């Protein structure tokens, strides 16, 4: 596959930074049977290291019946990669909410994979009745009963932590050794061979791990600021933002859970699925769940199955 079947949208900025997005919509004749104008818009949100290109097999199928948008989160894809932002779930949630409010301006179903799944859920919860639904594909995130290691933010506490560990050793590791190691890791991860091998571990069936996919991941890593984004995302120690169970309580729209059931990336994947199920039902959500024989990115690994399930659910 050489290109995405979608049209780049006009320029749009969030927090003063350029955001890339694409759009595809059905012909008038295709929507007569659905009741033109009443359908929700579909917004696709990629996962870590990916971009709008990762929806290459989904946009054409969904756009036969729905207006479909896909967005590159700040720090990824063709969007800006500023070094002064606090990258994490809160930033990406607010970016998606702003895009729906400013660019789409209609009820929207937000679809997200992995890290983008968290952003989709958080945005859907924030949009309240303007959210027409949320679709999660192997979503990342944490629950209230899980802890995230925090780093002190005030100067006094940070100095105290350094003193406790030994100032010279801590400064040496933090300011010289860590950045050097991170740079080596970053340079290695963006090598085409490493990208291919990593994807082959993430996809159960690697048939769709092709040159287009590898280039779509490598190309943004060559942009100015890409390494600084990599550093910040990993230093953040988690997505932060609200835990998933609290977001479920805030969500006012239907939820579709699509799982690649052989996900090698989600830690304790089966237990994670059970938590999603339990808390979704506790929140009395209208929830549908489908298990697919795929890995972490089912929308690109088994796109025909994912498209079928999403279209059935949307209708």
Q: Taking all residues of the chain, what is their mean pLDDT, rounded to a whole number?
A: 86
Half-sphere exposure (CA, 13 Å, Cβ side) for 218?
18
**Residue range 271-295, pLDDT digits in tens:** 889 999 999 999 999 999 999 999 9
Map tokens 């070094």 to a residue: 83
Indicate the pTM of the whole model: 0.87
Q: How many domains does the chain have?
A: 1
Give a yes or no: residue 208 inside a domain.
Answer: yes
Give a yes or no: residue 149 inside a domain.
Answer: no
Domain residues for the domain of 132 are: 7-144+186-314
Give a yes or no: residue 62 inside a domain.
Answer: yes
d(CA 203, CA 229): 25
CATH number of residue 222's parent domain: 3.40.50.1820
Q: CA 3 from chain center: how many Å?
A: 21
β pairing state of 41-45 and 68-71:
parallel
Local confidence band at 181 (pLDDT 50, 70, 90 cut-offs): confident
Give a yes or no: residue 101 inside a domain.
Answer: yes
Give a yes or no: residue 215 inside a domain.
Answer: yes
- Mean pLDDT within 145-163: 48
User: Of all residues in the chain, what percent carry a pLDDT higher than 70?
Assistant: 84
More confident residue, 76 or 152: 76
Local confidence band at 185 (pLDDT 50, 70, 90 cut-offs): confident
Give a yes or no: residue 225 inside a domain.
Answer: yes
Give a yes or no: residue 176 inside a domain.
Answer: no
d(CA 303, CA 279): 27
Tokens (6 digits) for 150:
């925090």
Local confidence band at 29 (pLDDT 50, 70, 90 cut-offs): very low
Give a yes or no: residue 134 inside a domain.
Answer: yes
């Amino acid at each position: 596959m050489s290109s995405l079947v979608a049209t780049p949208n006009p320029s749009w900025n969030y927090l003063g930074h350029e955001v890339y997005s694409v759009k595809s919509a059905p012909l008038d004749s295709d929507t007569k049977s659905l009741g033109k104008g009443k359908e929700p818009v579909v917004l696709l949100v990629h996962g870590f290291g990916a971009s709008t290109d990762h929806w290459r097999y989904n946009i054409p199928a969904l756009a036969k019946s729905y207006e479909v948008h896909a967005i590159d989160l700040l720090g990824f894809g063709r969007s800006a990669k500023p070094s002064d932002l606090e990258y994490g779930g809160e930033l990406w949630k607010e970016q998606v909410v702003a895009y729906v409010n400013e660019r789409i301006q209609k009820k929207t179903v937000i679809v997200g994979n992995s890290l983008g799944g968290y952003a989709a859920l958080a945005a859907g919860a924030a949009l309240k009745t303007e959210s027409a639904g949320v679709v999660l594909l192997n979503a990342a995130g944490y629950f209230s009963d899980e802890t995230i290691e925090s780093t002190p933010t005030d100067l006094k506490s940070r100095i105290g932590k350094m003193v406790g560990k030994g100032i010279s050793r801590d400064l040496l590791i933090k300011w010289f050794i860590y950045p050097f190691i991170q740079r080596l890791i970053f340079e290695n991860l963006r090598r085409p061979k490493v990208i291919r091998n990593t994807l082959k571990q993430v996809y159960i069936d690697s048939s769709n791990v092709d040159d287009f996919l590898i280039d779509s991941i490598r190309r943004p890593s060559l942009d100015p600021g890409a390494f600084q984004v990599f550093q910040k995302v990993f230093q953040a120690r988690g997505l932060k933002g609200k835990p998933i169970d609290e977001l479920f309580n805030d969500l006012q729209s239907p939820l579709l859970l699509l799982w690649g059931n052989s996900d090698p990336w989600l830690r304790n994947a089966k237990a994670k699925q059970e938590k999603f199920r339990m808390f979704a039902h506790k929140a009395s959500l209208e929830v549908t769940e489908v298990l697919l024989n795929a890995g972490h990115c089912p929308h690109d690994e088994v796109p025909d199955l994912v498209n079928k399930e999403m279209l059935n659910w949307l209708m």
